[in-house]
Amino acid sequence: MKKQFAIKGMSCNHCVANVEKAINGLEGIDKVKINLKKEQGTVKFDDSKVSADQIASAVTEAGYETEVI
């Protein structure tokens, strides 16, 4: 499954790395692509192992506002 997330609060590549690390720390993540300028991320994942809500929670816990779009 592939979902897009709006991610607010990122200001630099270090922020992008923090978001990627938070998402990649979850089980079932296949691919993460974060676009700093668009404030969006696309995540490809196995929805039998992780949900979009769990991914959003991981981003929020890393300190960024997010929602599934």
Q: What is the CATH number of the domain that holds 40?
A: 3.30.70.100
Distance CA 38, CA 47 (A): 25
pTM over cut 0.85: yes
pLDDT at site 55: 98
Question: Sheet holding 65-68: strands in order across?
Answer: 29-35, 40-45, 2-8, 65-68
Domain residue limits at 7: 2-68
Alpha helix stretches (DSSP H) within 1-69 = 13-24, 52-61
CB 1 within 8 A of CB 40: no
Give the tens place of pLDDT for each residue, 35-47: 999 999 999 999 9
pLDDT at site 25: 97
pLDDT at site 39: 97
Domain count, the chain: 1
Give the tens place of pLDDT for each residue, 9-63: 999 999 999 999 999 999 999 999 999 999 999 999 999 999 999 999 999 999 9
